[in-house]
Amino acid sequence: MLPHLRAFGRSLTGNADLADDLVQETMLKAWKARASYIPGPSSMKSWAFVILRNCFLSQMRRRKFTADYDELAAERLLVAPDDQTDSLHLADVQRALMLLPVDQREALVLIGAGQLSYEEGAAICGCAVGTMKSRVSRARTALQAILDGGAMPRRSTGSLQPSEAFAAIMDDVEQLTANGPAGGK
């Protein structure tokens, strides 16, 4: 029976390897369902052919929702060129953070940069979770307004470089998580 199933599988798939996989799956399903086979009305061979055909149709339905993997296309899509202005934006964000009230700044640094949960941030700041959520929301809104509205002071010659700005933000995260809230808020 196996050579006939392989031939039928090859005629369906057009590929010897896929046909062998299909036959293997067919034999596994036939073995699992052997108790349901009733000799007489149909032959074992025709029963196996029906199982193979159903396996093939099921695979075709599943493949409809997938695509072949093309490594070259994936590399072109997944690799994004560096944006040279990103590092400048980080320095702007760090300067804009300094314009926020202390309670909003620490909430945003803990939750945004520190990736803590609201509950963890609230415990560090000694406030309710709802208060922490409110502070983060107000801080995000104010930070966006500062960055969009140009209300930020110009860079001075002694201002931080972008890599230093990132380090300063992460230092704030470490300090806040280690020492608790600044200014007892």
Residue 114 has pLDDT above 70, yes or no: yes
Q: Which of 56-65, 93-102, 155-164 has the lowest mean pLDDT?
A: 155-164
Q: Dihedral (C-alpha) 35, 37, 40, 41: value to the nearest 10 degrees? A: 150
Place of tokens 């009733």: 38
pTM, to two decimals: 0.44
CATH of the domain at 163: 1.10.10.10
Q: How far apart are CA 44 and CA 34, in angstroms?
A: 10
The stretch 161-176 carries a mean pLDDT of: 68
Q: What is the mean pLDDT of residues 89-95?
A: 75
Same domain, 102 and 150: yes
Domain containing 45 — which CATH number?
Answer: 1.10.1740
pLDDT over threshold 50, residue 69: yes
Which range scores top for mean pLDDT: 69-73, 120-124, 173-177? 120-124
Give the pLDDT of residue 161. 54
Q: How large is the average pLDDT for residues 76-98?
A: 67
Asked if the structure places residue 6 within a domain, the reply is yes
**Domains: count for the chain:** 2
Angle between helices 129-149 and 118-125 in degrees, nearest 10? 100
Say yes or no: 113 and 148 in one domain: yes
Would you state the pLDDT for residue 185? Answer: 43
* pLDDT value of position 29: 93
Please give the residue range of the domain that contains residue 32: 2-63
Q: Is residue 75 part of a domain?
A: no
22 in Cβ contact with 52 (< 8 Å): yes
